[in-house]
Structure 1
Amino acid sequence: MKAGNSKPRRAMVIGAGIGGLCTAIALRNEGWQVTLYERSPGIPQVGAGIVLAANAMKALSKLGAADQVQAQGAPIGKAEIRTWDGKLLVDLPTTQQAIKYGTSSYIIHRVTLQSILLDVLGATADVQFNKKLVGWTQDQDRVTATFEDGCTGIGELLIGADGIRSKVKRQFPESSPLRYSGFTALRGISVFEDQRYPLDIGGGFEAWGYGKRFGFTHLGNGRIYWFAAINSSEGIPHPAAERKQLALSTFCGWYQPIESVIAAAEEDSILSHDIYDCSPIGRWTEGRVALLGDAAHPMLPNLGQGGAQAMEDALVLAQCLQSVDTDIPAALQQYEQRRLARATKVVRQSRLMAKVVQTEIPAAIFVRNRLLRMIPPSMHVKRFDWLVGYEV
């Protein structure tokens, strides 16, 4: 508890994913007593890689987790964009970026990141599993959350960090339906080596084709995280036993090592998800209740900013709630005002990027590739300075 605070206040956080854990750490650091409620029976042990750009690493530094991420993740030392058959379009100046922003970008397994955040939160953290939210009510002084098992939680603040299908958000007056992106994603992890992409450098490449693309990057410990984004109708099932063959057939003849790294993946480890976002909403708060991360601003993964924006949310939220005497509804409105425009811009830019990278129109692909070759390396850094150069 911070000096000068006479009595800690109680906060409830719904969802123990990356956003929820970061929120619990940030609020705890400001003297709040926090209870995390997670619908799953434990921290999920499946997942894929997550990219942490400079803005995410700076947020993790403030949360006390950056050193562990650097030790257990892999730096992105190479970041290429290629055509489907391997012609180089862009060799991003990762060293220049690291110097400019004071840190490299990293990639880490999502489960590892969650374990690190739990470790930072500490063994005494109040994390309750198998807690499926039914709904919430509030009055002038407190919020009450009700769960499927009949239990209730009471606090002066409730944060919905429960993802793109947020139960907390359903009671907000303004909502927005899920919007299918037009593509589905396959994600896998393979033990694999390629001399062109050495482990000590890290990183890798993306290859862009006609309505599909493939990403390859080091995850550490000799592992490669790879993803495939494939234009597709919504809701087509891809059973686990068929996903590897789907990836192999989709990317047959593409730039090597794509087929080889897919072939090296364990069949039952490949994940498949349709990708969604929502049109931005203009209100994230309702009295003593606020939304955070994907619950507030679900975005497509094309800029690699979903986790980073949740981390930024958590830090700003805690800053707005620093004082024990804070008017909580007013503080939450301040949080919304400080975060809304930036997060909305990231949502829209991610959607725009999807149109660029997933297009199937030959003329558009020709123009896109030609422009990418013409842009100097320093301009590639400058284009995203507003995004990855940001610090809360």
Structure 2
Amino acid sequence: MDAVTSRKAIVIGAGIGGLCTALSLQQQGWRVSVYDKASSLREAGAGIVLAANAMKALDLLGIGEAIRNVGAPVVHADIRTWDGTLITSLPAAKQAALYGTQSYVIHRADLQAILVQAVTATTPIQTNKQWIDGIQSDRGIIALFNDGTQEEADVIIGADGFHSAVRERLFGQSPARYSGYMALRGVCNQEEARNATNGGGFEALGPGRRFGLSSLGNGRVFWFAAINAPQGKLPPVEERQSELLRQFHGWYSPIVSAIEATEASTILAHDIVDRPPLPKWSSGRMTLLGDAAHPMMPNLGQGGAQAIEDAIVLARCLRNPDIPTALSAYEKERMARANRIVRMSRSMGRMVQLENPILIYLRNKMLASLSDARYISRFDPIIGYEL
């Protein structure tokens, strides 16, 4: 057995980042164990956007075509006012031609199913396993779990999301930063809403509120609503649909139709938060990845993409047999990019959640005046990025 295939990695967390990490390490010849504290692997999210940088990364993992077969391509994307008046159409087709792939929207459960199938072809995923510590030595690291079990490895990768136990163990508690708005999400199958996506989707911007609608494929539509509100004021499940109908009363009719057509009990609600960037992600033989390392707001649709990029870069860096040196190289390559997108996502959120009528007018005029070339240039460092 050669030096690489004899090496063992433990991945904590079986979300998008953790599963992509397992897949990427498998490609490099690592033995991998994946653990998740959940009792079963259920993805409770709705839709996720996979821009060109994410799709190219998924192609490197060998699952890009599976995503394209299940997801819906974004062939058209509009920004509208609250009443449906078109502000601008984004250059989705030009970006697809430039980058060699369209962006896709896919249900998170479908994405996770594809990843689980790819990973479990060689690696079982163990659920109901709460990681509590890693005991390091010069030779390796031992993962400890709350059921008393232990496992030895060469490296532990914390891909356990926003509430990461690995991050807290390494660097202590870090405060969540509230955005000033909450998000509600859902999926429906409704003709007017489906037709309004026009082979892609739109976002409608109103005072302190916005609503996005995207095709999910197979007749399904994914929607989200972002509403300015004090932290901790999420409506209970039984009131979410009525609150949405109140907040978006009189808006562009496909929005109201989508809310009405969604099964009320399935509507998700979250405060939108991130965390201040960490000065480092690694300590010895342990490191962080994805939301555990750099949780970001969803305003640029890059949370999943950045976790996928992390996974590929980390596996490449771990070709170096010196684990601490490899993790240092991983941080050096990834931290500046990820933290920049954290900052940009916060800034974008402030712009699209404006309440002041004068600022809203100026923002909409700016968006309407933005040429395709300027738009593509502005976002090229994010979605034009190649690993």
Give your verdict on TM over 0.5: yes
How far off its partner does 1:153 sit? 2.2
Identity %: 51
CA RMSD in angstroms, aligned pairs only: 1.6
**Alignment partner of 2:323 out of 316, 328, 333:** 328
Contact kept? 1:175, 1:281, Cα under 8 Å: no
Q: 1:262: which partner in 2?
A: 259
Question: Following superposition of structure 1 onto structure 2, how do residues 168-179 of structure 1 map, counting pairs within 5 Å?
Answer: 168-173=166-171, 176-179=174-177
What is the match of residue 374 of structure 1?
A: 369
> Which runs of no fewer than 5 residues in structure 1 stay unpaired?
none
Contact 1:174 1:283 in 2 (8 A): no
Matched, 1:129 2:127: yes
Which of 288, 293, 300 lines up with 2:290 in the alignment? 293
User: What is the distance in 2 between the residues matched to 1:98 and 1:297?
Assistant: 27
Alpha-carbon distance in 1 for matches of 2:255, 2:125: 40
Give 1:75's aligned amino acid. Answer: P
Tell me the secondary structure at the aligned position of residue 253 of structure 2: coil
Give the alignment's TM-score, normalised by structure 1: 0.96
Cα offset for 1:136? 2.1
Q: How do 1:46-195 and structure 2 match up within 5 A?
A: 46-173=44-171, 176-194=174-192
Question: What secondary structure, in the 3-state scheme, does the structure 1 residue paired with 2:341 have?
Answer: helix
Query: Is structure 2 residue 379 aligned with structure 1 residue 384?
Result: yes
- Write the distance in 2 (CA, Å) between the matches of 1:46 and 1:268: 12
Question: Where does the alignment leave 5 or more consecutive residues of structure 2 unmatched?
Answer: none
For 1:311 and 1:304, locate their aligned partners in 2 and report how far apart those are by CA, in whole Å. Answer: 13
Distance in 2 between the 1:339 and 1:257 partners?
A: 40
Kept after mapping to 2: 8 A contact 1:197/1:203:
no
Instruction: Give, in whole Å, the separation in 2 of the partners of 1:255 and 1:114.
Output: 32
Q: Which residue of 2 aligns with 1:236?
A: 233
Contact 1:5 1:31 in 2 (8 A): no
The structure 2 residue matched to 1:302, chosen from 299, 302, 311, is 299
Distance 1:196-1:374 versus aligned 2 partners, 3 A rule: farther
Q: Distance in 1 between matches of 2:179 and 2:351?
A: 13
> How far, CA to CA, are the matches of 2:106 and 2:178 in structure 1?
27
Q: After the TM superposition, which segments of 4 or more aligned residues of structure 1 sit over 4 Å from their partners?
A: 4-7
What is the DSSP-based 3-state SS (H/G/I as helix, E as strand, rest coil) of the residue aligned with 2:215? strand
The alpha-carbon deviation at position 46 of structure 1 amounts to 2.5
Matched, 1:341 2:339: no
Aligned to 1:315: 312
* Structure 1 contact 11–32 (Cα < 8 Å) conserved: yes
Find the residue that maps to 1:31 and give its secondary structure. Answer: coil
Change (3 A) 1:41 1:97: same
Any idea what SS the aligned residue of 2:83 has? coil
2:248 to 247, 251, 263: 251
Give the number of equivalent residue pairs: 387
Residue 222 of structure 2 is matched in structure 1 by 225
One-letter amino acid matched to 1:332 = L
- Inter-CA distance 256–195: structure 2 relative to 1 (3 Å threshold): closer
Structure 1 Cα separation of the partners of residues 145 and 29 of structure 2 = 26
Q: Structure 1 residue 215 and structure 2 residue 246: aligned?
A: no
CA–CA distance in 1 between the matches of 2:225 and 2:234?
16
More helix by share: 2
Return the offset for 1:6.
6.4
